[in-house]
């Protein structure tokens, strides 16, 4: 089935070279508006370089990234990132942390108040609004980060293995919350992970990367019905298929 959504992000011939070392080799792909795209690759593939080039933290050696057909401009396009490390500000409370992203974007106070309430509620942290990060568990911290990211209603949400350190039960719980927020807001998400099961559980499409120099090995469409059942035969087959594509161990 053809995906008829308009193109949100267009990556063209992205190449990154550090001195003699070619890290990203001519990567091109599109992300549709509102799409949930997962990217998996073998350990040690240029995952971080890839992400940093996408966000223009590094100037790519060659290539272009367009959002809404314009070159990426962090001042114009709102992009949110969520990393594996909990990037909450330790000196701010839960509620102040969520407000932080909004005040950076100069949102009027009343609207910001409303957003903070809304997202505290969505991630179930209303009771903990006055807590400081060091009083919270790992999964609660990651909820704060998610709330902060979604509250700014970004055009593009980049996630770099955000649940790598959580145990499986919590991971599934947070993944389900993420999927709900994604559907609710229609956000475009790029989710990078080493965890194949996670990629198969979340994505509408999976981009498989090669080892360095990183290229796109292949692209797999994933239209398993949701909620997905990790024990079902289809799920296991798809998981095996992706595993075979990157297995190095």
Partner 1 sequence: MESKTSRFMRKNMAAFMTIVAFMSLLLVWELVARFTNAGMFLPPASEIISKFVESFTVPIGKHRMLVHIGVSLYRVGVAFIFATIAGIFLGVSMGYSKTVEAIIKPIFEFIRPIPPLAWIPMSILWFGLGDQSKFFIIFLGCFCFITVNTYDGTKNVDHVLLGAARMLGASERQVFFRVVLPSSIPYIFAGLQIAITAGWSAVVGAEMVRSDEGVGWLIVMGMTNGNTVQIMVGMLAIGIVGYILATAMAKLEGRLCIWNQQQGI
Partner 2 sequence: MESAAGNIADVLKCSHISKEFDSFDGTGKNLVLEDIDFSVKDNEFLVLFGPGQCGKTTLLNILAGLESPTKGEVVDHGKKVTAPAPERGVVYQKTALFPWLTVMGNVEFGPKVRGFKKEERKKIADHYIDLVGLKGFEKSYPSQLSGGMRQRVGIARAYSNNPSLMLMDEPFGHLDAQTRYMMEEELQRIWQKEKRAVVFVTNNIEEALFLADRIILMTNCPSKIKKEYIIDLPHPRSYVDPEFLRLRREITENMDKSM
Among partner 1, partner 2, none, residue 17 binds (CB under 5-8 Å by kind): partner 1
Report whether 156 contacts 67 (CB < 8 A).
Answer: yes
- CA-CA distance, 208 to 218, in Å (whole number)? 5
- Give the interface segment with partner 2, choosing from 20-28, 89-97, 111-119, 231-239 (CB under 8 A): 231-239
Report whether 160 contacts 192 (CB < 8 A).
Answer: yes
Beta strands in the chain, from DSSP E residues, in sequence order: 7-18, 21-32, 36-40, 62-67, 70-71, 79-82, 156-160, 188-193, 205-209, 216-221
- CA-CA distance, 221 to 65, in Å (whole number)? 22
- Site for partner 1 contains 61 (CB under 8 A): yes
Dig out the tokens for 64 from the structure.
Answer: 């272009």
Report whether 239 contacts 200 (CB < 8 A).
Answer: yes
- Site for partner 2 contains 170 (CB under 8 A): yes
Helix (H) or strand (E) holding 232: none
- Site for partner 1 contains 134 (CB under 8 A): no
* Residue from 13, 48, 180, 240 in contact with partner 2 (CB under 8 A): 240
* Residue from 19, 20, 110, 169 in contact with partner 2 (CB under 8 A): 169
Report in angstroms how near the CB of residue 194 gets to partner 1 at its nearest. Answer: 16
- Site for partner 2 contains 210 (CB under 8 A): no
C-beta atoms surrounding 148 within 10 Å: 24
Report whether 46 contacts 213 (CB < 8 A).
Answer: yes
What string marks each residue from 33 to 52 as x (binds partner 2 by CB under 8 A) or -? ---------xx---------
What string marks each residue from 94 to 133 as x (binds partner 2 by CB under 8 A) or -? ----------------------------------------
- Site for partner 1 contains 211 (CB under 8 A): no
- The footprint of partner 2 (CB under 8 A) covers 42-43, 137, 139-140, 161, 164-165, 167-170, 193-196, 198, 230-231, 236, 239-240, 246, 248-249
């Amino acid at each position: 089935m053809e995906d008829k959504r308009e193109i949100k992000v267009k990556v063209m011939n992205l190449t990154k070279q550090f001195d003699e070392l070619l890290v990203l080799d001519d990567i091109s792909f599109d992300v549709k508006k509102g799409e949930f795209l997962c990217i998996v690759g073998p350990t040690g593939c240029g995952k971080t370089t890839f992400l940093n080039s996408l966000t223009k933290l590094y100037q790519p050696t060659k290539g272009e990234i367009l959002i809404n057909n314009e070159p990426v401009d962090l001042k114009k396009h709102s992009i949110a990132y969520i990393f594996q490390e909990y990037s909450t500000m330790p000196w701010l409370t839960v509620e102040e942390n969520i407000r932080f992203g909004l005040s950076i974007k100069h949102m009027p106070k009343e609207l910001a108040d409303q957003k903070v309430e809304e997202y505290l509620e969505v991630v179930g942290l209303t009771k903990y609004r006055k807590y400081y990060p060091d009083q919270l568990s790992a999964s609660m911290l990651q909820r704060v980060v998610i709330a902060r990211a979604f509250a700014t209603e970004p055009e593009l949400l980049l996630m770099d293995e955000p649940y790598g350190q959580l145990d499986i039960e919590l991971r599934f719980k947070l993944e389900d919350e993420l999927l709900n927020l994604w559907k609710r807001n229609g956000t475009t998400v790029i989710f990078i992970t080493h965890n194949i099961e996670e990629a198969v559980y979340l994505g509408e499409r999976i981009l498989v990367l090669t080892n360095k120099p990183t290229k796109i090995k292949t692209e797999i469409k994933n239209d398993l019905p949701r909620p997905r059942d990790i024990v079902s035969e289809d799920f296991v087959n798809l998981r095996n298929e992706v595993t075979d594509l990157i297995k190095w161990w």
